[in-house]
Every structure is written in C-alpha cells, then in structure tokens.
Structure 1
Amino acid sequence: MKKVLEVKDLKISFDTFAGKVHAIRGVSFDLFEGETLAIVGESGSGKSVTSRSVMQLLSSNANIDSGEILFKGEDIVKKTEKEMQGIRGKEIAMIFQDPMTSLDPTMPIGKQVAESLVKHNKISKKEGLKAALELLNLVGIPNAEKRLKNYPHQFSGGQRQRIVIAIALICYPEVLIADEPTTALDVTIQAQILELMKDIQTKINTSIIFITHDLGVVANVADRVAVMYGGRIIEVGTSEEIFYNPQHPYTWGLLGSMPSMDGGEERLYAIPGSPPDLLDPPTGDAFYPRNEYALTIDTEEAPPFFEVSSTHKAATWLLAPQAPKVEPPVEIQRRWKIYEEKQAAKQG
C-alpha cells in the first residue's frame, strides 16, 4: 500500500508559565492510501496536538522540537504559513469537534461549503455553489437546494456536523483529519455520521486520521488503531488486533472500561490514578504509576516497541523475552480466546 503521510519521531513542547510541557515525546506513524487510522487515548495523551501538527495549526506557544511530517515526500514542518495555506483544505482537511464553533453564524452554509473550493481552484462563486449542492446532497442534508441560503442556527446538531464534513470534503482532500467529530452528538446521530464518513471514504478514496477517546467508536470505523499515552504511541495494530489481542496494560484498561454487549453484570474497570505530569515526564514507562503489572525496569527505562506481528507492536516490558508471565484481566483473557479462535478459523 502507498504511504500518504509519514510522521517520524515527532517531539512537541509548549511554553507555559509553569515551564515547558513536553506534550509529544517521539511519535511516529504512517497513514496509507484509503485507510482509516484511529488515534485513541484519554484526555491529555497528545491525540489532538499530533493531528493539529499535521495541519500546522498549533498555538503560538508551541514548539516542534524535532521530527518530520512527510506528505508527498515533503516535510510539512519546514513549510511556510503561505505554503500551508495552499495545502490546508485542498490536500489535507480537518473536521473539528464542535460544529457550531467551526461554522460562521453570519454566512449562509452554501457559501461556507463553497468557499474553500472557490479559493483553491479559482472557480466562480456560481460553480462553487453547484459543487456545494452536490456535497450537501452527498452528506445527506434534506432539501439541500432550498437550504443553501440557510444559516447554521437553522440546522440541527447532526446536520451541522454533516455540513462541517461537506466543508472538509469539498476539495476532495487526500487526507482527512477528524478530531472527535461525534463527541457532541447523541448515539443515534453519532452512528449515522460514522456510517456517512465510511461511505464517503469509499467514494472519494481519502485517507482518514480519526481522533477519539472512545474505543467503542473505533471498532466500526478504523482499519488500524494507534493507542496514545503520555505523549507517546504505546500500541499500534489492526482494529482486530487491538480489540481482541491487546498487549499493553493501558490498552487492557481502556478495553476493560467499555460496557460489554453480552449483558454481563461485571463492574466496569476504572484505571487508577491520573495521567503523568508532562512538565516533568517520567524517565521510565509513563504508565507505570497506574500499572498494576509494572516491573522494576518500568521505573528506570521507557520500553521499546516489541513486535507481536508484522502489523502489531506494543511498547511494554511485559513483551520482553525475560519478562514474567502475567495473568491479564478476565475480560482480556476472554478477548484473547476469541482472537485465537478467529485465527484458527482463518487458517482452517
């Protein structure tokens, strides 16, 4: 598969009154043509900062200390603001979390959807509105032609999010970054928006980076999943591998905190403690203070990635050859069993 985007050893810090916050501490990942990569983690793990760095939309107190973000073989980090303006919206687009703050309340939605296309492709406003109408129909806005002149407040929350998606897609970008696009929506509308994004992706063959804290959302959307904690990616694999063969204790905790669909009466697991203070990042594994399976080496040295399969790797000392065997939570053992059965069925 062709690589659309490569992030290599990205390190980002923020200057604050309290000192330098080391928000991203060596993040690397690839995005392939036509795939959806979900980046998952709790608040403060670095998901949104990573995605915004791809768009070069970081705040003024942010510093990209080192690393590369390669798009079409060129390093985005080295591009000027003027060069980025030619890329944003046209080749890499972003859907933000809250549609009401993403839309201009004083501008009709037809004009807002068409604006990026008119600017980048140098077409007339009439042609832009025609293209906007096609996109609004594609994302499922009812009576789209009659509603081109309506304003954001005249639409429901779900419809506003569809409009934001239309704005992001109007130039048919190669990369679409969706930063928690369904957080403010109820579950039914959330499912519709996720289904819409999958449908559109197959039609225009765009590659999606999907940012979320909700692993339940990821299951139906992602081809691959990267789990973030403390400014680092700590496990990455296919959606099936992360859900049914997780290896990092933090991933175990995330999956254990999800309600089970089989109607079991077990209490949901809550990961103890709080995320690390990135003003003074730990020298070892950032998760060790909250990790009941932590080893002595976790306090001294950050683990490297250990390969589980050609598509699956995790940064935990539990995968080291000399590590003791531990009994993971019952829920994880259940998932491992399902995974083994699935693999056996594929081979048989």
Structure 2
Amino acid sequence: MERILEVKDLAIDFATYAGTVHAIRHVDFHLDKGETLAIVGESGSGKSVTMRTVMGLLANNARVVSGSVKLAGEDILHKSEKALNQMRGNEVAMIFQDPMTSLDPTMPIGKQVAEPLLLHTKATRAHAMKEAARVLALVGIPDAQARLKDYPHQFSGGQRQRIVIAIAIINHPKLLIADEPTTALDVTVQAQIVHLLKDIQAKLDTAIIFITHDLGVVAGIADRVAVMYAGKIIEYGTVDEIFYNPMHPYTWGLLEAMPTLSATRKRLFAIPGTPPDLLTPPQGDAFAPRNPYAMKIDQEQEPPFFAVSKTHAAATWLLHPDAPAVDPPAEIKRRKQIWAQKEGNHDYR
C-alpha cells in the first residue's frame, strides 16, 4: 500500500501574550492511498492545527518544535513558501467548515472552481472552464454548465459545500483534508456530503483526512479513527474498534455523548469539566481531572500507548496489566457486548 502521509513526533508551540501554548504534543499518525482517517475530539484538541501544518498554513506565531510531516515521502516542514504554494491545491487540498467564508461572493463560481487548474497547470481558460463544469457535475450541481456564471449566494448551503469540494478536487490531489465540512449543514445534507466524499474517493483513489467532533458522522466515512485530546492522540484503531471496543475513558465519554436510538437517558450525556490549559500542560494524564476512573498514577505519569490489537492502541493506565478492572458506562458495555459477539470473545473488559 502506498504511504501518502506520515506524521512523526510532531510538536507545535504558539507564542501568545500569556505565554507559550503547547498546542500539539508529539503526534504520530499515517495515511495510505485510498484510505480515510477520521480525527475526532472536542474543540481545542489540536485537530485543525495538525491539519493546517500538513497544508503548510501555520500562523506566524506558531513554531514547529519537533517532528516531520512527509507527504508522498517529502518533508513539507522544510519546503519553501513557493514550493508550498505549488503543493497546495495540487498534491493536497482542504475543504473548510464554512463554504460562505471559503467562496468569494464577488466572483462567479465557474472562475473559482477553475482557478486551481489555471494556477497549477498550463491549462487554457477554455479548458479550465470546461473542467470546472465537469467537476461541478461530478459533485452533484444540476445544470453545471449553465450555472458557471452564477454567484455563491444563488446556491443553497449544501450546494455551496459541493462547490468547495469541486475546487478541492479539480487537480486530483493525493490527499484531501475535510475540516468539519458537515458542521453547518442539516442531518440530511450531512449524509449527502459524506456519501459524495466516499464516491469521489472511489473515483479518484484519493486519501482523505476527515476532521470532526461528531462521531456520528465518522461511522459513515472512516476506515480508521484517531482520537485527540489536549494536543495528543490518545487512542487509535479501525472504525469498528473505536465504536465497539473503545478503551480510553475519553473515547467512552465521546461515545456516551452521541444521541442513539438505544439511549435510556432522558438527557444527553456531557463529559464534565473542561480541557486543560496548554500554557502549562498537566503532569501525568491530561484527562485525569475529568476521568472518573483516574488512579493515583494518572496524576503522576503520562500513560504510554498500550496495544489492544495490531491496529488498535490507547494511552490509558487502565490497560496496564496491574490496573484494577473497572465497570464501563452502560452504553460502552452495550457496545463491547456487540464487539464480543462479533469477535466470538465473551471476555469483554
């Protein structure tokens, strides 16, 4: 399998008036051709900062402390701004959360979709506009040719998101980063956009990183999931492993907070407390103050990753051989029972 992206030991600080914020703290992950990786976590967990690093779009007050970000084998952290400009929209493209802030309200959408092709190739304007119409039709814009001269305000929210996707894919990038692309959309349109991304992936064989705080969306698009908290990845695995055999208490909280038809609570669950201040990252496990299963060691030492399977690992002391057995929440036990039945293993801890 061709490795498209490999991030190793990535650490990023931000200089602020209050001091240095340790926003990304030694993150590792990879992505192969044609694969979809979902990165999930609360706001402020570091998801978008990590992906902006992959795009070479870090703010001026950001500093890469350590690590490498290799796109198709080349470390982009050492590329010049000219090389990064050539890379963006050509090898890697990003779909942002709000299409209205991504699209220029004063420019017809045909020109906006064609622009990456004109910037990165020797295409003529006529060819670029022809390609723009083809790609707009591919993403599901009706009468695409006739609508090239229309402006963003003449489209619905779902259609505007499809236009943003068209801009991202017109140059057939190796990597497509979707930064919460369904957040501003209703549930029906969310499902349509997720289906569209999977369809595009199948046709173009591109790799996708899907950033979200909504685990419900993840189930329909991801092959693997990485859970982020306080600037670190704290659990990763296949989508089934994360949904049905989660091991980190933070992942338990995210899953409990999902509305489900099987839920017995009258009110939605919310993880108590707030994420830590990364001006002074806490000693030990950053999730310990919000973790009802925290032990003394959680206050003192940061947990390493413990392997659950060849594809699944979690950074929690609960997986240490000497850790006491705990009783997970009812919703997590229900999911683990489904996993145990599926795997033919009735010893679900």
Is the shorter-chain TM-score for this pair beyond 0.5, marking a shared fold? yes
In 2: Cα distance, 1:18 partner to 1:80 partner: 30
SS, match of residue 22 in structure 1: strand
Q: TM-score if structure 1 supplies the norm length?
A: 0.98
Cα deviation for residue 176 of structure 1 reads: 0.2
Indicate how the Cα distance of structure 1 residues 283 and 139 shifts in structure 2: closer, same or farther if over 3 A, else same.
same
Give per-residue Cα distances to partners, 1:278-335, cap 9 Å, x unaligned: 0000121000000000011111111110000000000000001111111111111111
Using the alignment, how far apart are the partners of 2:75 and 2:197 within structure 1?
A: 28
Q: How far did residue 103 of structure 1 move?
A: 0.6
Give, in angstroms, the shift of residue 118 of structure 1.
1.4
Q: Report the equivalent of 1:43.
A: 43
CA contact (8 A) 2:263 2:331 kept: no
Is the alpha carbon distance of 1:263 and 1:306 closer, same or farther for their aligned partners in structure 2, counting shifts above 3 Å?
closer
Aligned-partner residue type, residue 36 of structure 1: T
Q: Give the superposition deviation at 1:269.
A: 2.0
Equivalent in the alignment of 2:90: 90
Is 2:181 the partner of 1:187? no
In 1, Cα distance between the equivalents of 2:270 and 2:93? 35
What residue is the counterpart of 2:112 in the other structure? 112
Residue type of the alignment partner of 2:32: F
Deviation sequence 1:217-255 (CA, Å, 0-9, x none): 101110000000000000000000000000000000000
Cα drift, residue 139 of structure 1: 0.4
Q: Distance in 2 between matches of 1:271 and 1:119?
A: 46
String of CA shifts for 1:84-118, please: whole Å, max 9, x gaps.
01110000000001000101111111111011011
Residue identity matched to 2:139: V
Q: Which residue of 2 aligns with 1:297?
A: 297
Tell me the equivalent position of 1:324.
324
Closer/same/farther in 2, CA of residues 119 and 310 from structure 1, 3 Å limit:
same
Alignment-derived partner of residue 312 in structure 1: 312
Please give the residue correspondences for 1:10-49 in structure 2 after superposition, counting only pairs within 5 Å: 10-49=10-49
**Deviation at residue 261 of structure 1 after TM alignment:** 2.0
Residue pairs, 1:223-262, within 5 angstroms: 223-262=223-262
1:140 is aligned to 140
Q: Which amino acid aligns with 2:41?
A: G
CA offset at residue 271 of structure 1?
0.8
Q: Is the partner of 2:308 in helix, strand or coil?
A: strand
Describe the SS at the equivalent of 1:107.
coil
SS at match of 1:184: coil
Distance 2:49 2:123 in 1: 33
Deviation at 1:145? Answer: 0.9
Tell me by how many angstroms 1:264 deviates. Answer: 3.5
Task: For residue 196 of structure 1, report the CA deviation from its aligned partner.
Answer: 0.5
Identity of aligned residues (%): 67
- C-alpha distance in 2, partners of 1:72/1:163? 27
CA deviation after TM superposition for structure 1 residue 265, in Å: 4.3
Aligned residues: 345
Residue 287 of structure 1: aligned partner: 287
Which residues of structure 1 form unaligned runs of 5+?
none
Q: Mean Cα displacement is larger for which, 262-271 or 145-154?
A: 262-271
Corresponding residue for 1:78? 78
Deviations 1:46-101 (A, max 9, x none): 00000100001111111111100011221111111101011100000000010001
Instruction: Summarize deviations over 1:126-165 as a string: whole Å, max 9, x none.
Output: 0000111110000000111110001111111111000000
What secondary structure does 2:344 align onto?
helix
Letter in 1 for 2:119: K
Show structure 2 runs of 5+ residues with no match. none
Counterpart position of 2:272: 272
Q: Structure 1: which amino acid aligns with 2:323?
A: A
Contact 2:99-2:161 within 8 A present in 1 as well: yes
Shift, 1:121, TM fit:
1.2
**CA distance in 2: counterparts of 1:60 and 1:32, whole angstroms:** 30
TM-score, normalised with respect to structure 2: 0.97
Query: How many angstroms apart in 2 are the aligned matches of 1:339 and 1:237?
Result: 14
Provide the rounded CA distance (Å) in 2 between the counterparts of 1:112 and 1:81: 22
Give SS of 1:64's match: strand
Q: Distance in 2 between matches of 1:344 and 1:220?
A: 24
Bigger Cα displacement from structure 2, 267-276 vs 145-154:
267-276
Shift of 1:2: 2.1
* Shift in alpha-carbon separation, 1:263–1:283, aligned structure 2, 3 A: closer
CA distance in structure 1 between the partners assigned to 2:321 and 2:263 by the alignment: 37
Residue 168 of structure 1 corresponds to 168
Deviations 1:166-206 (A, max 9, x none): 00000000000000001111111111111111111100000
Quote the residue 1:131 is aligned against. 131
Q: Counterpart of 1:303 in structure 2: which amino acid? A: P
Moved more, 57-66 or 158-167: 57-66
Task: Check 1:39–1:318 CA distance in 2 against 1; reply closer, same or farther (3 A cut).
Answer: same
Aligned partner of residue 195 in structure 2, secondary structure: helix
